[in-house]
Amino acid sequence: MSSSSFGPESLQRAPRGEGAGHIDYRLARRHLVNEFKRGRLSRRDICDAHPELVRAANNMGQATSEVCPICEDDDLVLVSFVFGPRLPAHGRCVGSREELAKLASRSGERVCYVVEVCPGCSWNHLVRTFALELTSR
């Protein structure tokens, strides 16, 4: 890894989708997990969560009851980051729906990235991205 800076590209393993194109993150995830189970990928290849991401998962993550597909030891944690104008370049880690709603109520284009992280083995994968819509004016 050449860069230790944290940004959207730290969260997104798949190439960026074009415009309205839809990326099926679940499909990409299943592919990675299968490759790992077949021994074509090692933990080193796929359990590479940025330290910042692991910290966010531990501090502000949303626990799930889904077990990590790689180590099958820990439950996955969902972390949401919002990127956009007047937000830090590394994004704002959002810990609650209220905070997300507050960010959505401001003008400007903002995108939310939801990433699943395993605090145990550092597996991480993008679950979804969505634009924060301006909910009220």
**Which residues make up the interface to Zn ion (CB under 5 A)?**
68, 70-71, 118, 120-121, 123
Task: Write down the least CB distance from residue 107 to Zn ion, Å.
Answer: 39
CA distance 18 to 131: 14
Give me the least distance between CB of 114 and Zn ion, in Å please.
18
The SS3 call for residue 56 is helix
How far apart CA 53 and CA 27 sit, in angstroms, is 22
- Nearest CB to Zn ion, comparing residues 70 and 79: 70
Q: Which is nearer to Zn ion, 9 or 75 (CB)?
A: 75
Nearer to Zn ion, 38 or 137 (CB): 38
Closest C-alpha among 133, 81, 137 to residue 104 = 133
